[in-house]
Chain A
Amino acid sequence: MIHSFLEWLGNTKWSVALLESYYAWPLVETTHVLTLALFVGTAVMMDLRLVGVAFPGVPVSAFTNRLLPWTRFGFAVMVVTGLLLFYSSPLRYYNNLFFRIKVVLLVLAGLNIWLFHTRIHRSIHQWDDDYRAPRAARMAGLVSLVVWTGVVFSGRLVAYNWFDCDIQPQPDWVNFVAGCRAEADGLPAPSGELP
């Protein structure tokens, strides 16, 4: 069902227009990439402070109050441009191994942010000025740094079709994780299960 919906979505007029456009697609993609500096860049600065390797003497609340709005703005631009790029070629991304890894990492990043804001950040008044923040806060910063690095890596690799469904043969686990469908994508049918 997801498959046929995405197939329909990719055949809509605007999706085709975006994918085949000479300037629009590269402009959206360039915005997506350059906003990394704003979104991940400001997030990284706050993470470095949380971990305790940068900005001694600057309270963590300075970051959450003054810099985080810019991180959020960057995130909004990332989401809009990212959704547009997905819309330009839904099935291609849906069945792309790196795209799927990226989505999993995004969920992990979201969980980490949720944990930070619902638990760790609540006691910030107790450790706001400590260069060595509590262990949980340092961990949240470290997890954020690692996960966003992973998101950037997998995001960049989405552009490569090494593991796409129409490039066969692939190891079984690749076809499984990428969600390739046997008949539709021309994979060799599993033996003994022919109708």
Chain B
Amino acid sequence: MMPPESWIGFFEWCEATYLGTLVRDSVWLFPIIEAAHLVALCVLGGAILVVDLRLLGLGLTGQRLSDLARHVRPWLLGGVAVMLSTGVLLFLSEAIKCFYNTSFWVKMMTLPAAIAFTFAVKNRSLDGLETSARSRVLGAVSIALWFTVAAAGRWIGYS
């Protein structure tokens, strides 16, 4: 999986940005931002899993799906916000490496899909929804999408 070679200019520009240079030239910044990215993974993962487990008929089954989604919403949004801001900083510091990294492109394609699915499909299907084949599909697709995002994210560091 390779992006058009003409995009490399943008990635070179990203890597040369003030923030990219700042993170790259620091010993501590990249690891600290990475750790914050992981703490946000916990919050985001918890907020997603509480609803997804319920969709699968597991976890907090005594609660209405729409209630659970409403309760986790601020933590979901906060988690996404911290993930995106720390993720952008990490990316800027090694944009050219990312350009040639297959895992990065897998993540860039599944991440928008996961976000769109969560907010445009899953969260809009919860009103009055009970555990059913439909809810199980929603939960399974959500977990599969976010799992791919997370696994590809971790794999950026290996390839």
Contact = CB atoms under 8 A, between A and B. Distances in A.
Interface of A: 26, 29-30, 33-34, 36-38, 40-45, 48, 54-58, 62-63, 66-67, 70, 148-149, 152-153, 156-157, 159-160, 162
A160 B27 CA distance: 10
Contact of B31 (A36, A37, A156): A156
Given A45-B50, A63-B60, A38 B71 contact: no
Given A34-B147, A55-B71, 10 more contacts: A37-B48, A37-B150, A41-B42, A44-B43, A58-B63, A66-B61, A67-B59, A70-B58, A152-B38, A157-B35
Contacts, number: 99
Contacts of B27: 162
B30 to A, nearest CB: 10
B49 interface: yes
Contacts of B59: 66-67, 70
Per DSSP, are chain A's interface residues mostly helix, strand or loop, or mixed? helix
Contacts of B32: 153
Interface in B126-159: 146-147, 150-151, 154-155, 158
Contact of B63 (A30, A62, A156): A62
A42 B62 CA distance: 16
A40 B35 contact: no
A157 B32 CA distance: 8
Contacts of B105: none
Contacts of B44: 37, 41
A29 B61 CA distance: 31
B34 interface: yes
A41 B45 contact: yes
A30 B42 contact: no
Given A34-B150, A58-B60, A62-B62, A156 B35 contact: yes
Contact of A34 (B46, B47, B48, B151): B151
A42 B49 contact: yes
B154 A37 contact: no
B42 A152 contact: yes
A103 to B, nearest CB: 17
B86 to A, nearest CB: 12
Interface in B17-52: 27, 31-32, 34-35, 38-39, 41-50
A167 to B, nearest CB: 12
A159 B150 CA distance: 19
B50 A67 contact: yes
